[in-house]
Structure 1
Amino acid sequence: MRSIGLLRSRGTLAELFSGRANSFGLLRLALATSVVVAHLYPLGYGYLDPLWKHSGEQTDLGKMAVVGFFVLSGFMITGSGRRTGIVRYSWHRVLRIMPGLWGSLLISTLVIVPLLYRHLHGTLAGFWSHPAGPWYYLKGTWNTSLTSGWDVSDVIAEGMHRGTNHDRSVNGALWSLKYELFCYVMVGLLAAGGVLRKARRFVPLAALALWLLIVNDWLDAPSMRRGIPGDMGTFISVPVLGPMSTHFLIHLGFVFLLGATVQLYREKVPVHDGLALLSLITLAVTTHYGGLFVIGYPAFAYLLFWLAIRLPRPFQRIGRNRDFSYGIYIYGFTVEQALAMLGFVKYGKLGFLACALAGTVVLAAFSWYVIESPVMRLKDWTPRPLTRWQERRAVAASVAPDVRTDLTTDHPVVRA
Structure 2
Amino acid sequence: MNVGRTDLSFRQNNFDLIRIGAATQVLLVHSLRHLQLDFPGWNSLLSYFPGVPVFFGISGYLISASLERSPTWQHYCRNRLLRIFPGLWGLLLTTGLVLWWLHPAQLFTFEGGLWFISQGFGLIYTPAFLADFGFGSYNGSIWTIPIELQFYTLLPIGYQLISKTNHKRGNWQLVGWWLFFVVFAMGKALYRPGATIFNESTFEKLLRYTFMPHIYLFLTGVVAQRWKLHRWQWIRGKGLYWLAFTSLFWTVWGTTTLGPIVQSILLVLSSISLAYTVPTLADRLLKGNDISYGVYMYHGLLLNVLVTMNLLHQGAYLWVVFVGSYVAGYLSWRLVEKPFLRWKSVNRSAQRANSAMLYEQTPPGR
TM over 0.5: yes
The 3-state SS of whatever aligns with 1:404 is coil
The reply to whether residue 200 of structure 1 matches residue 192 of structure 2 is no
Give the CA deviation at 1:140: 3.2
Matches for 1:135-284 after TM superposition, within 5 Å: 135-149=113-127, 154=130, 157=132, 165=134, 167-191=135-159, 198=167, 199-221=170-192, 225=193, 227-228=194-195, 232-233=200-201, 235=203, 244-245=206-207, 249-267=211-229, 269=232, 270-271=234-235, 272=238, 276-284=243-251
Deviates more, 1:337-346 or 1:30-39: 337-346
| C-alpha spacing 1:148/1:315, structure 2 compared with 1 (3 Å) | closer
Give the CA deviation at 1:216: 2.6
Provide, for residues 176-196 of structure 1, a one-character-per-residue CA deviation record: whole Å limited to 9, x for no partner: 110111011111223456657
- Counterpart pick for 1:35 among 10, 23, 26: 26
- Aligned CA RMSD, in angstroms, stands at 3.8
Mapped partners of 1:66, 1:320: distance in 2: 24
The reply to whether residue 69 of structure 1 matches residue 61 of structure 2 is no
Equivalent position of 2:3 in the other structure: none
Contact 1:36–1:357 (CA<8 Å) still a contact in 2?
Answer: yes
Deviates more, 1:314-323 or 1:329-338: 314-323
Contact 1:232–1:247 (CA<8 Å) still a contact in 2?
Answer: no
| C-alpha spacing 1:192/1:342, structure 2 compared with 1 (3 Å) | same
Equivalent position of 1:108 in the other structure: 95
Provide, for residues 101-132 of structure 1, a one-character-per-residue CA deviation record: whole Å limited to 9, x for no partner: 111111111x1111223xxxxxx6x5654565
The reply to whether residue 291 of structure 1 matches residue 243 of structure 2 is no
**Greater gyration radius:** 1
Equivalent position of 1:371 in the other structure: 336
Contact 1:70–1:255 (CA<8 Å) still a contact in 2?
Answer: yes
Equivalent position of 1:10 in the other structure: none
Q: TM-score normalised to the size of structure 1?
A: 0.70
Equivalent position of 2:4 in the other structure: none
Amino acid at match of 1:257: L
| C-alpha spacing 1:129/1:306, structure 2 compared with 1 (3 Å) | closer
Contact 1:81–1:191 (CA<8 Å) still a contact in 2?
Answer: no
Mapped partners of 1:247, 1:91: distance in 2: 24
Amino acid at match of 1:83: R
Give the CA deviation at 1:307: 1.7
The reply to whether residue 361 of structure 1 matches residue 326 of structure 2 is yes
Q: Which has the higher strand share?
A: 1
Give the CA deviation at 1:47: 10
Give the CA deviation at 1:43: 2.4
Contact 2:190–2:257 (CA<8 Å) still a contact in 1?
Answer: no
Give the CA deviation at 1:283: 2.8
Mapped partners of 1:170, 1:215: distance in 2: 31
The 3-state SS of whatever aligns with 1:310 is coil
Equivalent position of 2:10 in the other structure: 18
Provide, for residues 293-323 of structure 1, a one-character-per-residue CA deviation record: whole Å limited to 9, x for no partner: 3421222122212222225743453445111
Contact 2:14–2:281 (CA<8 Å) still a contact in 1?
Answer: no
Amino acid at match of 1:256: F
| C-alpha spacing 1:274/1:40, structure 2 compared with 1 (3 Å) | closer
Give the CA deviation at 1:51: 10
The reply to whether residue 96 of structure 1 matches residue 83 of structure 2 is yes
| C-alpha spacing 1:342/1:24, structure 2 compared with 1 (3 Å) | same
The reply to whether residue 338 of structure 1 matches residue 301 of structure 2 is no
| C-alpha spacing 1:63/1:300, structure 2 compared with 1 (3 Å) | closer
The 3-state SS of whatever aligns with 2:356 is strand
| C-alpha spacing 1:211/1:49, structure 2 compared with 1 (3 Å) | farther
| C-alpha spacing 1:262/1:234, structure 2 compared with 1 (3 Å) | farther
Mapped partners of 1:89, 1:288: distance in 2: 40
Mapped partners of 1:314, 1:32: distance in 2: 18
The 3-state SS of whatever aligns with 1:377 is helix
Equivalent position of 1:304 in the other structure: 271
Provide, for residues 12-71 of structure 1, a one-character-per-residue CA deviation record: whole Å limited to 9, x for no partner: xxx994312x2111110011111211111332229999999x69xxxx859921111001
Q: Which runs of 5 or more residues in structure 2 are unaligned? A: 1-6
Larger RCO, structure (CA 8 Å, separation 6 or more) = 2
| C-alpha spacing 1:233/1:277, structure 2 compared with 1 (3 Å) | same
Equivalent position of 2:356 in the other structure: 404
Equivalent position of 2:65 in the other structure: 79
The 3-state SS of whatever aligns with 1:321 is coil
Mapped partners of 1:363, 1:193: distance in 2: 41
Amino acid at match of 1:205: G
Identity of aligned residues (%): 20
The 3-state SS of whatever aligns with 1:356 is helix
Deviates more, 1:94-103 or 1:299-308: 299-308
Mapped partners of 1:200, 1:32: distance in 2: 30
Alignment coverage as a number of residue pairs: 342
Give the CA deviation at 1:81: 1.0
Deviates more, 1:257-266 or 1:139-148: 139-148
Mapped partners of 1:50, 1:142: distance in 2: 39
Mapped partners of 2:14, 2:61: distance in 1: 13
Q: Which runs of 5 or more residues in structure 1 are unaligned? A: 1-14, 118-123, 160-164, 237-242, 395-401, 411-416
